[in-house]
Amino acid sequence: MILVTGANGNLGAAMLAALRAGGATAAGGSRTPGEGTRHLDFDDHASLDLTGVSTLVLISAGYAEDDQVVGRHKAVLDAAVRDGVRHVVYTSLTTAGDHLGFALAHRATERLVRVSGLPWTILRNGLYAELFGGLLMWAGNGVESAFGDGALAAVAREDLADAAAIIAANPTRHSGRVYDLVGTPITAEQVADELGVSHRTIGLDEYRRRLLDETPGLLPFQPPMLASIATGIRHRFLDGTTPDLADLLGRPARDPLASAVAAASATRPETGLYCRACFRSGSRSCDDHGSRPGEI
């Protein structure tokens, strides 16, 4: 049986859907299990029962400090060895992302995978097109970002799910392989053009200030993580592409621009009635600020 962790996450859910559509026997692992899903919480070691699993798709559980993320992944890999898993597929970070703030946890996990003694496949996933689009900030009649005119070899999340499902369904032939799964380069300007709005570049200092001062709810590791994505794109470290994704899929990759545009569109204030502070904080009323309609 194939087991995909993070089953309620976007990538895990899409991967399970792809596996099942292809006729594979696959179960999910989740902190909040439902039908066909095992309870699996990396922070609760007692829940890490992988008996009966032949292929484990370990979806990275980021969103925490490095030591916590690496500790989570180590616990799952230890359980995989103990419970007789026969192959592990790990969703890592693109090679070009080595300097990003969250790269260390991925590379440390890759080391753990390699020394686990289990046959393995490492998927070095590029940054999602959905993430790129979602990080554009609406302001007035346009969008702003700290990406400058740098491009990102963005990849539609759905393609990463499809690629992982192909490997998980037939892991032996991909054993010991590292795939760099990136898409075609897109810029913030291109996303803005598709949306019919302008793009304005802000400096990294202003971006960092907004993250720290105007974005409530971010965890301490998140501002440097997001700033590292911006500087990586702005300084053109993330625009290189490889054929791995299309080769694995056996078809051209989905258009990342369309996914980025959809994500940016989804964060667009519906009426333009919100001031920037209210929009960022998630408030849906600007009464306190006396904003005029259309003023953001």
Ligand X SMILES: NC(=O)c1ccc[n+]([C@@H]2O[C@H](COP(=O)([O-])OP(=O)(O)OC[C@H]3O[C@@H](n4cnc5c(N)ncnc54)[C@H](OP(=O)(O)O)[C@@H]3O)[C@@H](O)[C@H]2O)c1
- Which residue has 């029962």 as its token pair? 49
Rg (Cα) of the chain, in Å, rounded? 20
Q: Identify which of residues 184 and 291 has a Cβ nearer to ligand X in the complex.
A: 184
Listed residue (268, 237, 241) closest to 101, CA to CA:
237
Question: Least separation, in Å, of the C-beta of 65 and ligand X?
Answer: 13
- Binding track over 236-275 against ligand X, x by CB under 6 A: ----------------------------------------
Listed residue (251, 63, 38, 84) closest to 158, CA to CA:
251
Segment lying near ligand X (by CB under 6 A), choices 55-63, 181-189, 201-209, 239-247: 55-63
* Residue closest to ligand X when measured from CB atoms: 9
Segment lying near ligand X (by CB under 6 A), choices 2-10, 182-190, 252-260, 271-279: 2-10
Segment lying near ligand X (by CB under 6 A), choices 30-38, 206-214, 247-255, 287-295: 30-38
87 near 54, Cβ under 8 Å?
yes
Q: Which of 8, 54, 95, 215 binds ligand X (CB under 6 A)?
A: 8
Q: Which of 2, 12, 109, 274 binds ligand X (CB under 6 A)?
A: 12
- 43 scored as a contact of ligand X (CB under 6 A): yes
Q: Identify which of residues 127 and 143 has a Cβ nearer to ligand X in the complex.
A: 127
Q: What are phi and psi of 143, to 5 degrees?
A: -120, 155
Q: Identify which of residues 32 and 51 has a Cβ nearer to ligand X in the complex.
A: 32
Listed residue (69, 117, 68, 118) closest to 93, CA to CA:
69
Give the bridge partners for 262, in sequence order.
Answer: none
Handedness of CA 282, 208, 203, 194 (dihedral sign): negative
- Which residue has 């594979």 as its token pair? 24
- 230 scored as a contact of ligand X (CB under 6 A): no
**Residue 253 DSSP symbol:** P
Residues that bind ligand X in the complex, under the rule CB under 6 A: 5-12, 30-32, 40-43, 59-62, 72, 125, 127-128, 131, 157
